Amino acid sequence: MEKFVLALDQGTTSSRAIFFDKAGGIHGTAQLEFKQYYPHDGWVEHDPMEILRSQKLAITAAMEAGEISPAMIDSIGITNQRETTVVWDRSTGKPVYNAIVWQCRRTADICERLIANGLSDYVTEHTGLLIDAYFSATKIKWILDNVEGAREKADRGELLFGTIDTWLIWWLTGGAVHATDYSNASRTMLYDIDKLCWDEKIMKVLGIPMSMMPEAKPSSADFGRVAPGIPGLESLAGIPIRGVAGDQQAALFGQGCFSKGQAKNTYGTGCFLMMNTGETSTRSRNGLVATIAWGYDGKVEYALEGSVFNGGSVIKWLRDGLGLIKSAPEVNILAESVKDSGGVLLVPAFTGLGAPYWDMYARGTMVGITRGTTAAHIARAVLDSIAYQVTDLIGAMEDDVGFRLSELRVDGGASVSNILMQTQADMLGANINRPVVVETTALGAAYLAGLYTGFWKDIEDIEDNRKVERVFTPEIGEPERKRRYAEWQRAVERSRSWAN
């Protein structure tokens, strides 16, 4: 009987389940969206029980779609939206508050106080991160401070914390396993990424008791088995959970970036760039964060990470804000109708600029407009702007690691744009490598699980699975690249400190 690994991809807007075969091919997939709660300006929450329900329904729907019986499932791998925080009662399994989502800014003032109290260097040194409301630490503190009776319960050891991976594992194992993996732990701002333990000093400053914390394990490890009698999943009892990683790290693994210096970029709503930096962690001089890529095969590997706030969302702005296109794919047709942007440059600093500029007062700017400028030139400038921002991040990363990138592996919704990928290759002076299977996040989680069970033998076994769909090679020389990049930097200068 053919067997499959089941990947659970618990994302920010939907829960998905995908079955992978030995060749890394997809058999049966299902996706269920769930509700986003915005109780106040800048606040974002999910209902943890709804996440659980949607994830369970996605599993049964994917089994149906792929005609897969429980006996055909080798193991389960989990990948998840990172940093999102759940606190629940260990005896009832009931959350004491909604999940506070990574995007939620409600703890910005707590972060400002930590920075004012001089904690920045300590946090970066130990966790690899910059103090920010994205990460789980201040979200846990907020729940303990604001939910009636929560702190007393936590102090009595009655509450548990988990990111979404931990929450799913706990429920799937019937409360038997309270665990996370190194990659998810490294996004909490509470985990010492070099010593591999929860950092007592930061926990103490935030008043978070150690008894709440899950056990952090390698990403390819024993996370227990599905318990008997889980409502809706009764037939899956006994199936082992053997792989766990945060979404970006899982994508890095799914892209086969197993060696130091290999990198991937995901072109989604935002862009997420990650580079494998090998078995020692690096600290960035350029505003990137250091994180654990994964624990696998007795080793821990690290990564540098940077993100662009507005990536594919700029294409959506062209559609919904300007009305110049009716659907995202149309941007390519429009942009291809001109040979270049005709000197127009767009800096989509809609919400400020991230690494390497870190200017929250920057705002969107379009320069170089003449009487000859058309919608096509603006469409071209939109795609250019995504490539230029990623070029900025890669430049920062190359400066941190001290070598030039030879290839960038790509995925995400906007990576299907040939014109964007060509521009990226031109601006990097390096090859852009796009795989056939772009479901790299789910694939990475499946690989981590299947490597533990022996479904896949070793890294070489899965490297053979990665099929290249297309490689884009640079078509312009160094002088032209330098000229265009200098022009971009001039445009960025115009966008800075605007909202001040």
Which residues contact ligand ADP (rule: CB under 6 A)? 268-269, 312-313, 315-316, 328-329, 331-332, 412-414, 416-417
As measured in angstroms, the least distance from the Cβ of 379 to ligand ADP is 10
SS3 12: coil
- Least Cα distance to 51 among 65, 33, 38, 64 occurs for 33
Closer by beta carbon to ligand ADP, 14 or else 120: 14
Closer by beta carbon to ligand ADP, 276 or else 417: 417
As measured in angstroms, the least distance from the Cβ of 439 to ligand ADP is 10
As measured in angstroms, the least distance from the Cβ of 469 to ligand ADP is 14
Closer by beta carbon to ligand ADP, 131 or else 386: 386
User: What's the chain's length in residues?
Assistant: 500
As measured in angstroms, the least distance from the Cβ of 164 to ligand ADP is 15
Q: 283 - beta bridge partners?
A: none
Closer by beta carbon to ligand ADP, 218 or else 311: 311
As measured in angstroms, the least distance from the Cβ of 112 to ligand ADP is 28
Q: Which amino acid belongs to residue 249?
A: Q
Helix-, strand-, coil-residue percentages of the chain, each rounded to 5 = 35, 25, 40
How many Cα atoms sit within 13 Å of 10 on the Cβ side? Answer: 32
As measured in angstroms, the least distance from the Cβ of 413 to ligand ADP is 2
Closer by beta carbon to ligand ADP, 306 or else 312: 312
As measured in angstroms, the least distance from the Cβ of 460 to ligand ADP is 29
Helices 108-116 and 120-127, interaxial angle, to 10°? 100
Closer by beta carbon to ligand ADP, 128 or else 312: 312
The whole-angstrom separation of Cα 416 and Cα 329 is: 9
**Secondary structure element (H or E) that encloses residue 378, with its range:** helix 375-401
Scanning the structure block, which residue is given the tokens 């009776």?
149
As measured in angstroms, the least distance from the Cβ of 274 to ligand ADP is 15
DSSP 363-375: --EEE---TT--H
Burial of 91 (0-12, 13-18, 19+ CB in 10 A): exposed
Query: Which residues, at least 6 apart from 247, have a Cβ–Cβ distance to it below 8 Å?
Result: 9, 11, 79, 80, 81, 82, 441
As measured in angstroms, the least distance from the Cβ of 332 to ligand ADP is 5
Closer by beta carbon to ligand ADP, 394 or else 419: 419
Reply yes or no: is the peptide bond before residue 95 cis, omega within 30 of 0.
no
As measured in angstroms, the least distance from the Cβ of 270 to ligand ADP is 7
Contact 8, 17 (CB under 8 A): yes
Return the structure tokens found at 388: 């230029």
Closer by beta carbon to ligand ADP, 246 or else 450: 246
As measured in angstroms, the least distance from the Cβ of 140 to ligand ADP is 25
Closer by beta carbon to ligand ADP, 455 or else 472: 472
| Phi, psi torsion values for 402, nearest 5 degrees | 80, 20
Closer by beta carbon to ligand ADP, 186 or else 307: 307
Closer by beta carbon to ligand ADP, 249 or else 417: 417
Contact 7, 442 (CB under 8 A): yes
Closer by beta carbon to ligand ADP, 73 or else 331: 331
Query: Which residues, at least 6 apart from 15, have a Cβ–Cβ distance to it below 8 Å?
Result: 8, 9, 31, 32, 34, 51, 54, 55, 57, 58
The whole-angstrom separation of Cα 378 and Cα 374 is: 7
The whole-angstrom separation of Cα 473 and Cα 423 is: 10
Q: Which residue is nearest to ligand ADP (CB)?
A: 413
Closer by beta carbon to ligand ADP, 177 or else 346: 346
The whole-angstrom separation of Cα 161 and Cα 163 is: 7
Burial of 211 (0-12, 13-18, 19+ CB in 10 A): middle
As measured in angstroms, the least distance from the Cβ of 13 to ligand ADP is 7
Helices 478-495 and 418-428, interaxial angle, to 10°? 100
As measured in angstroms, the least distance from the Cβ of 485 to ligand ADP is 22
| Phi, psi torsion values for 141, nearest 5 degrees | -60, -40
